[in-house]
Amino acid sequence: EVKLVESGGGLVQPGGSLRLSCAASGFTFDIYWMTWVRQTPGKGLEWVASINENGSGKYYVDSLKGRFTISRDNAKSSLSLQMNSLRAEDTAVYYCARGGPNYGPANWGQGTLVTVSS
């Protein structure tokens, strides 16, 4: 069974940083693209970033480039999202998902809530 478990969410002040992690199990991690998607009541579902199978290709939504960094550790079957210079509009539930941009993610984690507020 595919399992994706996010962690690292929480309350952070504007301008602060947070690192999200995702532990993957139940599938061969290093043959899949991985993706972060976020969801807010106002903007709905929004793509954040994707990374290819071996980590050599990283793709970001333009508005987040330079602030967010996606990475993976295939030896540990884990995915990460480093988020810097956080803003109130980054407040969202962040999902770790298996799959890339063309087909969309087939499997999603339960999500982790990030709240940016003073």
Say how far apart CA 102 and CA 104 lie, in whole Å.
6
According to DSSP, the residues that pair with 39 across neighbouring strands are 45, 93
Coil vs helix vs strand at 101:
coil
Question: According to CB under 8 A, which residues from 21 to 40 bind other proteins?
Answer: none
* Minimum CB–partner distance for residue 99 and other proteins (Å): 8
Q: Which is nearer to other proteins, 5 or 16 (CB)?
A: 5
What x/- string results for residues 77 through 106 when contact with other proteins is judged by CB under 8 A?
A: ------------------x---xxxxxxxx
* Minimum CB–partner distance for residue 44 and other proteins (Å): 5
